[in-house]
Structure formats: structure tokens, C-alpha cells
């Protein structure tokens, strides 16, 4: 029979082995790599941009990631949202949790904290307090203005990033040093704003925005802050058109960083029911724990219903109601806020 070799022992690689190519880069080196391992980054939104940037930072060795997302994985996400697989879409897994599971397989030494939540004034301090830098991967300006208020008030850096169609945009906000979001956009864009649900999206545009955002965040984490870009950069990967707007200095009359008026953080005028893209309405005015077993029992006579530990899905006719543990819901199949509220009240409770 002869002597058989002993099976290999599964030993995690050393820092030097795992990140050797990154350590060789002069801008990072061994000291920079150890700073990445000690860093804590919050990523708000885990759709296309958030999934890509989370994957990049986990593989780069960022020690702690907080991932916040209000939504669940759908089949249409798989074309561009690189952390998710067919099984996640079939199960309707919340994106934050699906990301946590996948990132653990990419780098088990990165601690990932998943929060299935809508970032709002009531929870922003609790969710973001420990993060050293905040990365935007949201799909709406309402949340971005909230992030801007919070970051300026708390003197925390954050990076604005977005992608739609073939177009990517990003900007670094370093409170007190650069312009904030409200310096450049004192009010949300007027008129019809294109979204990936109306204008489509190319995954190269997403990955460009995520790559730029990840690179700028890494510069901040390793201390190369003089290398961080001080412009609002936009680039169209299809037409090759690009532009940069100077954002190197705060605007003196800015309501947020100049006059320190944090109306979004105070929740002034914030709606409790919002359009949520893809022919959906989000209802987040009912903050209460949901007993999925009891709710499924009540709903079974009225339509198709199933649940897992994180959400319950109820299909009735053309509408689907997805309910989360905290009472928040997404009503799919309508943009009629009144109809969505009526369905929630009738089947979930007021």
C-alpha cells in the first residue's frame, strides 16, 4: 500500500501571503495594510454599487464592514449585483444578509454586520456611530441628503456614488475641507430623474462607480488623504463623455456645512410612505415586531404566502407584499400610495 501523505491542514494564510500583491503597491505597503485591517467602513445600500464596493473592500482586507439595505434579492438584480446568486433570488433573501453570507466566503477574516433596514433619522446614529467612513450606494437623494446631514454634523467623511444607464458619478465629502453634497446640489434634481428602472443600467458603469469609490475610501483609510480627488466626477462608459466639477472648498452660504441646518437629519417633511422603484411602494410608518408564523396563518386564505427568518412574502393578484421583521413593507405591483396603504392596513394591520 505504501505510505500515504497526510491530508493538508486548512490553515488561514498570513497577512503577508494573502495581501502580498497589495502590500507590494507603494501607496499601501505593510503599514497601510494593517490600517485597512483595523478600519470600519459603513456601506449604505447593497444593490449594484454597494455589492461591488463591499466585495472590493472585503477582498482588500478591510477589517469591519457594516452593510445596510432595505430590500431583497430579485432575479433582475443578478445582471449587475455581483454578490448575489440564483439561490438568493429564488429565496428572496434580504440583500444585506445575502451579502454577509457571500462576503464571509470571500474573506472570513472580515467581520460583516448586516442590517436589513431603511436608513432613517431614527436609526442613523445607532447604525453609523462606529463607522470611520461612510460609502453611499443608495438609489435616492432623500437618503443621500440624510447621509450628508449626519456626516457633516458628526464630522465624518463619506463618498457619494451612483450609476444609471451608462453613466457613473462619484464625489468625496470631507467635512470642513471639501464641498458637501448640499454645496453642489442645494436641492434635489428637478424634473424627471432617470433611474435603473426607467433607463436601464450597464454593469460596467456600476463597477466603475464602485471601483472609484473603493479606491478613494482606501486612500482615506491608509492615510493618503492628500491623494483624494476634490471634484464631482462623472463618466459615461458608452459615449466616453466625462466631466469634473470643482468641489475642493465648502460653499460659504451652504445651508448644511455653512449654516449647519440639518433638516433631513431632523426628519422634517420626511414621508412615511415612499416610491421604491420597480413599480413598488415602501411603507415604513409602522415600527413594530412582526410574528411571521401568526401572520402567515392569517394570510393563507387570501393568497400565496411564505416566509423565512427575515421576511414574509404575500402574493395576491397583481400585488406582492413583502414584510420585514420590523413591520416595514414593500408593496410591489403599484405606484399608488393609497392602494399600497390600503393593502397594508387590510392584510398586515394598521
- CATH code of 319's domain: 3.30.310
191 and 295 share one domain:
no
pLDDT of residue 271: 62
185 and 60 share one domain:
yes
256 lies in some domain: no
109 and 213 share one domain:
yes
Nearest to 138 by CA among 269, 41, 262, 49: 49
Confidence category of residue 342, pLDDT binned at 50, 70, 90: confident
pLDDT of residue 350: 64
160 and 25 share one domain:
yes
237 and 278 share one domain:
no
Euclidean distance between CA atoms 276 and 136, whole angstroms: 17
Give residue for cell 433573501.
93
Q: Is the pLDDT of residue 250 over 60?
A: yes
Euclidean distance between CA atoms 266 and 156, whole angstroms: 18
**pTM of the complete model:** 0.84
pLDDT of residue 1: 43
Which of 83-87, 105-109, 129-133, 135-139 reaches the highest mean pLDDT? 129-133
288 lies in some domain: yes
Confidence category of residue 81, pLDDT binned at 50, 70, 90: confident
Mean pLDDT of the chain: 90
Buried b (16+ CB within 10 A) or exposed e, 183-215: bbbeeeeeeeeebbbeeebbeebbbbbbbbbbb
> Which of 227, 246, 265 delimits the end of a domain?
246
Provide the greatest CA pair distance for the chain: 84
Strand (E) or helix (H) holding 346: helix 337-347
254 lies in some domain: no
187-240: per-residue pLDDT in tens? Answer: 877 655 566 666 788 999 999 999 999 999 999 999 999 999 999 999 999 999
Domain that holds residue 279: 273-347
70 lies in some domain: yes
Q: What crossing angle do the helices spanning 203-222 and 29-38 adopt, rounded to 10°?
A: 100
51 and 195 share one domain:
yes
107 lies in some domain: yes
43 and 162 share one domain:
yes
287 lies in some domain: yes
Nearest to 350 by CA among 293, 273, 251: 273
- CATH code of 110's domain: 3.40.50.720
| Three-class DSSP category at 133 | strand
Q: How many domains does the chain have?
A: 2
Give residue for cell 468641489.
247
281, β-bridge pairs: 275, 331
Q: What is the mean pLDDT of residues 8-23?
A: 82
Q: Is the pLDDT of residue 2 over 60?
A: no
Euclidean distance between CA atoms 208 and 211, whole angstroms: 5
pLDDT of residue 82: 86
Spatial neighbors of 167 by CB under 8 A, at least 6 apart, are 205, 234, 235, 236, 237
62 lies in some domain: yes
Task: Check: CB of residue 224 under 8 Å from CB of residue 176.
Answer: no
Euclidean distance between CA atoms 222 and 29, whole angstroms: 9
35-76: per-residue pLDDT in tens? Answer: 999 999 999 999 999 999 999 999 999 999 999 998 889 888
N residues, the chain: 350
DSSP per-residue letters across 94-114: BHHHHHHHHHHHH-TTSEEEE
282 and 163 share one domain:
no
Buried b (16+ CB within 10 A) or exposed e, 147-180: bbbbbbebebbbbbbbbbbbbbbbbbbbbeebbb
115 and 230 share one domain:
yes
149 and 199 share one domain:
yes
pLDDT of residue 16: 87
204 and 277 share one domain:
no
136 and 196 share one domain:
yes
Confidence category of residue 258, pLDDT binned at 50, 70, 90: very high
Task: Give the 3-state secondary structure of 188-220.
Answer: CCCCCCCCHHHHCECHHHHHHHHHHHHHHHHHH
**Residue 256 CA, distance from chain mean position:** 23
5 lies in some domain: no
Amino acid at each position: 500500500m505504501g505510505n500515504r501523505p497526510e491530508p493538508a491542514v486548512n490553515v488561514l494564510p498570513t497577512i503577508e501571503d494573502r495581501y502580498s500583491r497589495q502590500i507590494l503597491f507603494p501607496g499601501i505597503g505593510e503599514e497601510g495594510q494593517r490600517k485597512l485591517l483595523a478600519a470600519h467602513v459603513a456601506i449604505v445600500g447593497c444593490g449594484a454599487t454597494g455589492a461591488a464596493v463591499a466585495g472590493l473592500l472585503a477582498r482588500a482586507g478591510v477589517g469591519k464592514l457594516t452593510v445596510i439595505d432595505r430590500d431583497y434579492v430579485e432575479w433582475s438584480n443578478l445582471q449587475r449585483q455581483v454578490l448575489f446568486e440564483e439561490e438568493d433570488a429564488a429565496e428572496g433573501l434580504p440583500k444585506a444578509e445575502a451579502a454577509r453570507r457571500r462576503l464571509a466566503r470571500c474573506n472570513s477574516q472580515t467581520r460583516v454586520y448586516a442590517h436589513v433596514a431603511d436608513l432613517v433619522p431614527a436609526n442613523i446614529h445607532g447604525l453609523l456611530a462606529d463607522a470611520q467612513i461612510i460609502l453611499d450606494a443608495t438609489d435616492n437623494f432623500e437618503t443621500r441628503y440624510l447621509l450628508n446631514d449626519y456626516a457633516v454634523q458628526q464630522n465624518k467623511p463619506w463618498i457619494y456614488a451612483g450609476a444609471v444607464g451608462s453613466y457613473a458619478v462619484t464625489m468625496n465629502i470631507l467635512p470642513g475641507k471639501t464641498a458637501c453634497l448640499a454645496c453642489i446640489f442645494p436641492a434635489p434634481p428637478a424634473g424627471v430623474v432617470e433611474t435603473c428602472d426607467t433607463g436601464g443600467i450597464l454593469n460596467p458603469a456600476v463597477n466603475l462607480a464602485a471601483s472609484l469609490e473603493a479606491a478613494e475610501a482606501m486612500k482615506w483609510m491608509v492615510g493618503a488623504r492628500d491623494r483624494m480627488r476634490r471634484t464631482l466626477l462623472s463618466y459615461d462608459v458608452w459615449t466616453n463623455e466625462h466631466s469634473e466639477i470643482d468641489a475642493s472648498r465648502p460653499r460659504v452660504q451652504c445651508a448644511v456645512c455653512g449654516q449647519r441646518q440639518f433638516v433631513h437629519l431632523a426628519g422634517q417633511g420626511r414621508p412615511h410612505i415612499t416610491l421604491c422603484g420597480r413599480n413598488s411602494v415602501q411603507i415604513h410608518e409602522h415600527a413594530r415586531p412582526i410574528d411571521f408564523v401568526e401572520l402567515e396563518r392569517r394570510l393563507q386564505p387570501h393568497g400565496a404566502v411564505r416566509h423565512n427568518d427575515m421576511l414574509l412574502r404575500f402574493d395576491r393578484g397583481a400585488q406582492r407584499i413583502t414584510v420585514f421583521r420590523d413591520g416595514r413593507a414593500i408593496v410591489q405591483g403599484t405606484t399608488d400610495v393609497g392602494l399600497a396603504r390600503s393593502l397594508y392596513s387590510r392584510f398586515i394591520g394598521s
